[in-house]
C-alpha cells in the first residue's frame, strides 16, 4: 500500500506551478472584472501537454489519469487561472475512448478545442439523465438525437465559448460529437469572469454518435466533478496560507489575532476541510484508476468536501482579514467569487451530496438483497 | 496511489485469514457487559496473542509480531471481515504497552508486557483528574519518596476505563511541586490491588458505567515503580497520548462508525431514503467518514516511511467525533424516539458528547493543530515558569476575586 504522491506526480505539480507563476493571473482576474482581457494561458497549457492529459498515448496524449489531471487543476485553482480545460478534458476523454483518432490527436496537441456538454447520470431515485443544471433555469428541452440530428439546449456549459467541438450527452446517456459551428452558443460568463460559460442550443444539427462503453459518459461527468473539486483544493490552500500569514501579522489588544482561539480555531477548520478534501482527491484519483465502480461515490464525495471547504475558506478568509478582506483591492473577494460560482455549476455541491447518499444506499440495498 | 497488498503483505493477509477461519468458532460475541462476557473477551485476546494477532507492532522479544503499521491494518481489516471481536485491552496493548516499551526499564518490560498481551493482567490509564484534563500537567496526585526508595501515593484519578478489571495502572503523579508544573511529574506503575486503592464506577449519560473514579489513600509503591526518570513523567505521558490520538483518530471504523453501516440503518425506513433533507445530511456525514478512511491511508503511508504521527492526527479525531455525533443524530431523527433506546444507536447518541473530550477536547486539539501545524502564536500562558505550588495559591486568589472577595 502506498497512498502518497509519486515523485513524478510531485514534479508535475511543481512544473505546473512554475509555468503558471509567469502570469499575474490573480491580478488579471480582478482587472477582468472591469473589462480587461485575461492572459492567454493556452500556449502554456499546450507546451505543458495539459490538453492531452487524459488522452491515450496512441492518440498523441500523455495517457495519464484523473489524479494527474487533478494535480494540474489544483495548481490552476491556486492562482485562479483561466483555461478552458474543464470543458476540454472530459470531452477529449470521451472522443479518445470512442476512437476518434485524428480529431483526438488535434485535441491532445491543443490545435483545436472541445467542450463537454454535460448531463447528470441517473440516480437511485430517477432513471433519467438530466441536463437541468439543478440550480439554474432550464432553458429548453435536453439534447435528443434522431436520424443523425441533434436538438436541445444545455445551460451553463463550462468553456463552451471558443470551443470548436462539442461532446454532447444525450437524454438517454449516449454521447454525440457536434461541430460548434453548427450550434448556437450564447456567452453566459457571470460573476467569476475567469470561468467561461455558455448556454448551448442545437437545432436539428448534424451529429455523430460516439461508440462508447457502458459507463463512459457517466465517468466523464464524474471526471468533471473531480476537476472542479481539485481547483477548489488549490484555492483553499492559498486562502489558508494568506489568512494564517495575516493572523500572525495583525495585532489587536497587544496580541497577534492568530493567538485568539476564535481566530485560531477558524483557521484550523480551514485546514481540516482542506485535509479532508485532499484525502478524497486521492480517493477519486485512485478509484478512477483502480476501482472504476467507486468513481461515482469517490468523485461526488470529493466534490462535496472540496466545495464545502472552499465555501467556508473563502468566507473565513474575508472575516479573518476584517474590513480589508471585503475590498476590491484584496484577493479574498476573487476567491469568494470563484467559490460561489463553482458550488452552483455541474449539478452543484448539493447534487453531489445527494449522489453520495444515493450511491451508498444503492450498495446497501444490493447487499441486503444478496443476503436475503 | 496503490491500495493493493504487496506480495509479502498478501501472503501475510492469507495467513491471518486462515488463522481466523480456523479459530473464529472460539470467539465470543462482540457485545455484552457481564462478567462472563469479559472473561470470554480476555480468553479470546489470549488466543489472538497466541496467533500473533494481538500485538502486531510490538517487538518480537516482548511477545509481539515485530511487524509494521500496515500489518496491523491488515489484522484489523481481517478481524472486521471475520466479524469477531478484537483484543479486549486496547488501552493496554495499544497505548500503555508501547509506552513501557519506549520508556520502561528492562525489568518492567519483562515483568509486565507478557501478561498484558495475554490479558491475564488488564491495564488502565491513570492520567486525568477532576482538575487536570485538558491541562493535564496540573495533576495533583502526589507521590513522595521515602528513604528506602519506596513511594507514598495519594490523590484521585477519573475517567478511567477498565479500572474495574485492571491489575495495573500507568499513573502520572506530582513528585515535585516547587518547579513549574510540567517539570515535577513522574510516571508510575501502580498495582490496583494495593492497599489504599479504591475503584468506583462512574455512570454516564447512557446510564452505563464505562468509566471509573480511582482513589489513592497513602498507597505504598515499591522502589523502582517509576517509569522513565523521576520528574520526567511529562515526556512519558506524551508518548501515551500520541498513541491514544492515533487509536481514536484511525479507529473509528473499528467502532463501527462507517458510512456503509449508517446506510444500512437508514434502510430500516425506506421512505426516509427518498427524503431530500435526509439524503443531504447523510451525504455530508458519509463524506466525512470517507475522508477519514483515506486520511488514514495517508497517515499509514507516513508511518510506514518512519515518520512519527504528528498533530495532524488530532484533526482525524475531531472529524471522527463530529461525524459520529451527526450520524447518531440523523439515525435517531429518522427512527424517532425509538432510536434513543435502539441498542445500536441510542448509546452512540448518549456517549458522543462525552467522547468529544476523550483524548483531548476539541478546543485543545484545535489549539494544538493551530500552533504546531499552522505555526500560529500560542495561547497566552499565565502559568509559564511558575512553580506548581505558587500556581495553586494564585488560582485560589483568582477564585476569591471572581467570587467577589478581595485578593489575598
- In A111-130, the residues whose Cβ lies within 8 Å of chain B are 125
Rounded distance between C-alpha atoms, residue B158 and residue B133, angstroms: 9
CATH number of A216-371: 1.20.140.10
Residue B244 falls in the annotated catalytic set: yes
Rounded distance between C-alpha atoms, residue B236 and residue B103, angstroms: 7
Minimal CA separation from B347 to chain A, in Å: 23
Interchain proximity A255–B380, CB inside 8 Å: yes
Secondary structure class of B198 (helix, strand, coil): strand
Contacts made by residues A10-17, CB under 8 angstroms, sequence distance 24+: A12/A68, A12/A71, A12/A72, A13/A71, A13/A72, A13/A74, A13/A75, A15/A48, A16/A48, A16/A50, A16/A71, A16/A72, A16/A75, A16/A76, A17/A75, A17/A78
What is the H or E stretch that residue B116 is in? helix B106-117
Q: What was the pLDDT predicted at B248?
A: 64
Rounded distance between C-alpha atoms, residue A305 and residue A312, angstroms: 11
A268-272, A288-292, B204-208, B246-250 — which is least confidently predicted?
Answer: B246-250
- In A5-24, the residues whose Cβ lies within 8 Å of chain B are 5
Please compute, for residue B12, the number of CA atoms within 13 A of its CA located in the half-sphere on the CB side.
21
Q: What was the pLDDT predicted at A223?
A: 98
- Chain B residue with CA closest to A123: the answer is B274
Average pLDDT over residues A225-236: 98
Place of cell 447518531: B328
User: What is each CA distance from A296 to A118, A267, A357, B125, in whole angstroms?
Assistant: 15, 30, 11, 44
Secondary structure class of B173 (helix, strand, coil): strand
Q: What was the pLDDT predicted at A135?
A: 46
Q: What are phi and psi of A203, to 5 degrees?
A: -120, 90
Residue from B211, B276, B334 nearest B326 by CA: B334
pLDDT of residue A291 exceeding 90, the answer is: yes
Q: Would you call A214 exposed, middle or buried from its count of C-beta atoms within 10 A (0-12, 13-18, 19+)?
A: exposed
Q: Please report the ipTM that was assigned to this predicted complex.
A: 0.96
Q: What was the pLDDT predicted at B251?
A: 62
Q: For residue A274, what is its C-alpha cell?
A: 482542506
- When CB atoms are compared, the residue of B273, B279, B294 closest to A280 is B294
Average pLDDT, chain A: 95
Beta strands in A174-332 (DSSP E): 175-179, 184-187, 197-206, 208-209, 251-252, 255-256
Q: For residue B160, what is its C-alpha cell?
A: 478511567
Chain A residues within 8 A of B304 when measuring between CB atoms: 1
Q: For residue A53, what is its C-alpha cell?
A: 492529459
* Contact yes or no for A297/A353 (Cβ under 8 A): no
Q: Would you call B267 exposed, middle or buried from its count of C-beta atoms within 10 A (0-12, 13-18, 19+)?
A: middle
Domain extents in chain A? 1-112, 114-212, 216-371
Which residues neighbour B132 within 8 Å (Cβ) at sequence distance 6 or greater?
B138, B139, B140
Which residues neighbour A105 within 8 Å (Cβ) at sequence distance 6 or greater?
A59, A60
Rounded distance between C-alpha atoms, residue A244 and residue A235, angstroms: 14
Band (A140; pLDDT cuts 50, 70, 90): confident
Chain A residues within 8 A of B259 when measuring between CB atoms: 360
Q: For residue B19, what is its C-alpha cell?
A: 488463522
pLDDT of residue B249 exceeding 70, the answer is: no
- When CB atoms are compared, the residue of B70, B293, B380 closest to A1 is B70
Model's pTM, two decimal places? 0.94
Minimal CA separation from A69 to chain B, in Å: 14
Q: What are phi and psi of B190, to 5 degrees?
A: -120, 120
Chain A residues within 8 A of B266 when measuring between CB atoms: 361, 364
Q: For residue A337, what is its C-alpha cell?
A: 467569487
Q: Which CATH superfamily is domain A114-212 in?
A: Butyryl-CoA Dehydrogenase, subunit A, domain 2 (2.40.110.10)
- In A127-146, the residues whose Cβ lies within 8 Å of chain B are none
Chain A residues within 8 A of B315 when measuring between CB atoms: 268, 271-272, 275
- When CB atoms are compared, the residue of B263, B374, B379 closest to A244 is B374
Average pLDDT over residues A77-89: 98
Is the Cβ of A296 closer than 8 Å to some Cβ of chain B?
no
Secondary structure class of A205 (helix, strand, coil): strand
DSSP summary character for residue B54: S
Interchain proximity A248–B70, CB inside 8 Å: no
- Identify the architecture of domain A1-112 in CATH: Orthogonal Bundle (1.10)
A21-35, A199-213, B66-80 — which is least confidently predicted?
Answer: B66-80
DSSP bridge partners of A198: A157, A187
* Contact yes or no for A154/A193 (Cβ under 8 A): no
Interchain proximity A248–B375, CB inside 8 Å: yes
Rounded distance between C-alpha atoms, residue B6 and residue A357, angstroms: 33
B240-244, B261-265, B327-331 — which is least confidently predicted?
Answer: B240-244
pLDDT of residue B195 exceeding 50, the answer is: yes
Q: For residue A284, what is its C-alpha cell?
A: 477519486
Q: What was the pLDDT predicted at A126?
A: 85
Average pLDDT over residues B313-317: 85
Q: What was the pLDDT predicted at B204?
A: 87
A198 vs B316 pLDDT, higher one: A198
Q: What was the pLDDT predicted at B210?
A: 83
Q: What angle do CA B263, B290, B262 make, to 5 degrees?
A: 15
- When CB atoms are compared, the residue of B273, B276, B363 closest to A361 is B273
Rounded distance between C-alpha atoms, residue B407 and residue B405, angstroms: 7
- In A166-225, the residues whose Cβ lies within 8 Å of chain B are none
Is the Cβ of A368 closer than 8 Å to some Cβ of chain B?
yes
**pLDDT tens by residue, B141-182:** 999 999 999 999 999 999 999 999 999 999 999 999 999 999
Rounded distance between C-alpha atoms, residue B124 and residue B133, angstroms: 16
Q: For residue B79, what is its C-alpha cell?
A: 478481524
pLDDT of residue A284 exceeding 70, the answer is: yes
Rounded distance between C-alpha atoms, residue B344 and residue B265, angstroms: 9
- Chain B residue with CA closest to A276: the answer is B291
Residue from B269, B288, B300 nearest B57 by CA: B300
DSSP summary character for residue B309: P
Interchain proximity A2–B279, CB inside 8 Å: no
The count of other CB atoms within 10 Å of the CB of residue A57 is 11
Interchain CB contacts (distance < 8 Å): A and B: 181
Answer whether A114-212 and A216-371 agree in fold: no
Beta strands in B310-360 (DSSP E): none
Interchain proximity B266–A361, CB inside 8 Å: yes
Rounded distance between C-alpha atoms, residue A120 and residue A355, angstroms: 10
- When CB atoms are compared, the residue of B264, B297, B373 closest to A271 is B373
**pLDDT tens by residue, A146-187:** 999 999 999 999 999 999 999 999 999 999 999 999 999 999
B94: left (phi over 0), alpha (psi -120 to 50) or beta: alpha
Interchain proximity A1–B302, CB inside 8 Å: no
* Contact yes or no for B101/B113 (Cβ under 8 A): yes
Minimal CA separation from B176 to chain A, in Å: 31
pLDDT of residue B69 exceeding 90, the answer is: no
Band (A138; pLDDT cuts 50, 70, 90): low
What sign does the dihedral B139-B145-B149-B150 (CA atoms) show?
Answer: negative
- When CB atoms are compared, the residue of B283, B315, B376 closest to A248 is B376
To probe the interface with B, which of A289, A301, A348, A358 has the most B CB atoms within 10 Å?
A301
Interchain proximity A268–B374, CB inside 8 Å: yes
Q: What was the pLDDT predicted at B267?
A: 93
* Contact yes or no for A80/A132 (Cβ under 8 A): no
The count of other CB atoms within 10 Å of the CB of residue B22 is 10
* Contact yes or no for B236/B228 (Cβ under 8 A): yes
Rounded distance between C-alpha atoms, residue B328 and residue B326, angstroms: 6
**pLDDT tens by residue, B361-408:** 899 999 999 999 999 999 888 888 999 999 989 889 988 888 886 654
Interchain proximity B294–A367, CB inside 8 Å: no
Identify the active-site residue in B129, B244, B253, B347: B244
Q: Dihedral through CA A175, CA A176, CA A181, CA A184, nearest 10?
A: -50
Q: For residue A60, what is its C-alpha cell?
A: 498523441
Q: For residue B137, what is its C-alpha cell?
A: 500537567
What is the H or E stretch that residue B142 is in? strand B142-145
Interchain proximity B283–A353, CB inside 8 Å: yes
Average pLDDT, chain B: 91
* Contact yes or no for B139/B80 (Cβ under 8 A): no
Interchain proximity A297–B263, CB inside 8 Å: no
Q: What was the pLDDT predicted at B301?
A: 86
For B358-380, the DSSP string reads TTS-HHHHHHHHHHHTS-PPPPP
Interchain proximity A368–B4, CB inside 8 Å: no
- When CB atoms are compared, the residue of A5, A256, A363 closest to B377 is A256
Amino acid at each position: 500500500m502506498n497512498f502518497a504522491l509519486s515523485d513524478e506526480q510531485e514534479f508535475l505539480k511543481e512544473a505546473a506551478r512554475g509555468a503558471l507563476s509567469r502570469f499575474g493571473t490573480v491580478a488579471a482576474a480582478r482587472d477582468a472584472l472591469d473589462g480587461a482581457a485575461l492572459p492567454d494561458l493556452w500556449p502554456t497549457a499546450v507546451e505543458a501537454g495539459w490538453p492531452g492529459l487524459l488522452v491515450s498515448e496512441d492518440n498523441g496524449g500523455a495517457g495519464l489519469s484523473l489524479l494527474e489531471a487533478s494535480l494540474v487543476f489544483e495548481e490552476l485553482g491556486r492562482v485562479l487561472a483561466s483555461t478552458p480545460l474543464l470543458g476540454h478534458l472530459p470531452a477529449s476523454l470521451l472522443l479518445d475512448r470512442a476512437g476518434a483518432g485524428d480529431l483526438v490527436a488535434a485535441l491532445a496537441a491543443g490545435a483545436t478545442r472541445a467542450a463537454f456538454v454535460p448531463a447528470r447520470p441517473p440516480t437511485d431515485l430517477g432513471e433519467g439523465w438530466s441536463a437541468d443544471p439543478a440550480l439554474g433555469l432550464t432553458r429548453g428541452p435536453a439534447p435528443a438525437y434522431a436520424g443523425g440530428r441533434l436538438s436541445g439546449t444545455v445551460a451553463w456549459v463550462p468553456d463552451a465559448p471558443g470551443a470548436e467541438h462539442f461532446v454532447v450527452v444525450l437524454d438517454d446517456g449516449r454521447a454525440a460529437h457536434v461541430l460548434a459551428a453548427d450550434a448556437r452558443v450564447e456567452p453566459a460568463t457571470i460573476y467569476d469572469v475567469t470561468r467561461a460559460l455558455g448556454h448551448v442550443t442545437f437545432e436539428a444539427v448534424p451529429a455523430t454518435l460516439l461508440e462508447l462503453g457502458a459507463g463512459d459518459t457517466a465517468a466523464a461527468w464524474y471526471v468533471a466533478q473531480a476537476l472542479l473539486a481539485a481547483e477548489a483544493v488549490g484555492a483553499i490552500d492559498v486562502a489558508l496560507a494568506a489568512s494564517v500569514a495575516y493572523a500572525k501579522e495583525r495585532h489587536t489588544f497587544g496580541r497577534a489575532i492568530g493567538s485568539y482561539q476564535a481566530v485560531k480555531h477558524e483557521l484550523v477548520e480551514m485546514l481540516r476541510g482542506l485535509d479532508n478534501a485532499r484525502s478524497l482527491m486521492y480517493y477519486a484519483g485512485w478509484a478512477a484508476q483502480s476501482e472504476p465502480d467507486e468513481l461515482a461515490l469517490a468523485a461526488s464525495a470529493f466534490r462535496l468536501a472540496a466545495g464545502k471547504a472552499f465555501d467556508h475558506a473563502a468566507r473565513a478568509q474575508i472575516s479573518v482579514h476584517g474590513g480589508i478582506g471585503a475590498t476590491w483591492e484584496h484577493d479574498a473577494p476573487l476567491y469568494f467569487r470563484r467559490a460561489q460560482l463553482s458550488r452552483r455549476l455541474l449539478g452543484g455541491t448539493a447534487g453531489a451530496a445527494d449522489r453520495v447518499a444515493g450511491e451508498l444506499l444503492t450498495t446497501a440495498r444490493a447487499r441486503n438483497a444478496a443476503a436475503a | 496511489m496503490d491500495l493493493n497488498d504487496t506480495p509479502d503483505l498478501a501472503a501475510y493477509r492469507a495467513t491471518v485469514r486462515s488463522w481466523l477461519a480456523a479459530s473464529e468458532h472460539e470467539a465470543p460475541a462482540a457485545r455484552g457487559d457481564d462478567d462472563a462476557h469479559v472473561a470470554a473477551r480476555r480468553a479470546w485476546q489470549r488466543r489472538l496473542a497466541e496467533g500473533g494477532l494481538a500485538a502486531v507492532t510490538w517487538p518480537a522479544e516482548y511477545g509481539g509480531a515485530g511487524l509494521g503499521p500496515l500489518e496491523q491494518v491488515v489484522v484489523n481489516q481481517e478481524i472486521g471481515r471475520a466479524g469477531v471481536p478484537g483484543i479486549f485491552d486496547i488501552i493496554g496493548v495499544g497505548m500503555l504497552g508501547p509506552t513501557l516499551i519506549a520508556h520502561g526499564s528492562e525489568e518492567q518490560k519483562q515483568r509486565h508486557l507478557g501478561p498484558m498481551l495475554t490479558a491475564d493482567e488488564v491495564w488502565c490509564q491513570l492520567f486525568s483528574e477532576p482538575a487536570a484534563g485538558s491541562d493535564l500537567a496540573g495533576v495533583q496526585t502526589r507521590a513522595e519518596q521515602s528513604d528506602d526508595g519506596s513511594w507514598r501515593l495519594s490523590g484521585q484519578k477519573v475517567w478511567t476505563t477498565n479500572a474495574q478489571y485492571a491489575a495495573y495502572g500507568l499513573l502520572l503523579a506530582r513528585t515535585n511541586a516547587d518547579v513549574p508544573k510540567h517539570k515535577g511529574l513522574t510516571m508510575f506503575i501502580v498495582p490496583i490491588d494495593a492497599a489504599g486503592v479504591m475503584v468506583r464506577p462512574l455512570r454516564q449519560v447512557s446510564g452505563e458505567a464505562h468509566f471509573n473514579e480511582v482513589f489513592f489513600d497513602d498507597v505504598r509503591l515499591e522502589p523502582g515503580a517509576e517509569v522513565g526518570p523521576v520528574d520526567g513523567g511529562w515526556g512519558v505521558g506524551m508518548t501515551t497520548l500520541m498513541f491514544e490520538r492515533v487509536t481514536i483518530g484511525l479507529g473509528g471504523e473499528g467502532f463501527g462508525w462507517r458510512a456503509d453501516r449508517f446506510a444500512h440503518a437508514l434502510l430500516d425506513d425506506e421512505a426516509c431514503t427518498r427524503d431530500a433533507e435526509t439524503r443531504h445530511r447523510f451525504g455530508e456525514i458519509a463524506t466525512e467518514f470517507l475522508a477519514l478512511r483515506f486520511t488514514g491511508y495517508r497517515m499509514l503511508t507516513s508511518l510506514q516511511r518512519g515518520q512519527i504521527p504528528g498533530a495532524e492526527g488530532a484533526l482525524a479525531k475531531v472529524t471522527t467525533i463530529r461525524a459520529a455525533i451527526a450520524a447518531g443524530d440523523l439515525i435517531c431523527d429518522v427512527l424517532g424516539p425509538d432510536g434513543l433506546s435502539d441498542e445500536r444507536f441510542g448509546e452512540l447518541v448518549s456517549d458522543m458528547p462525552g467522547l468529544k473530550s476523550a483524548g483531548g477536547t476539541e478546543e485543545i486539539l484545535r489549539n494544538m493543530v493551530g500552533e504546531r501545524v499552522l505555526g500560529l502564536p500560542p495561547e497566552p500562558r499565565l502559568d509559564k515558569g511558575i512553580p506548581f505550588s505558587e500556581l495553586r495559591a494564585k488560582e485560589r486568589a483568582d477564585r476569591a476575586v471572581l467570587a467577589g472577595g478581595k485578593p489575598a
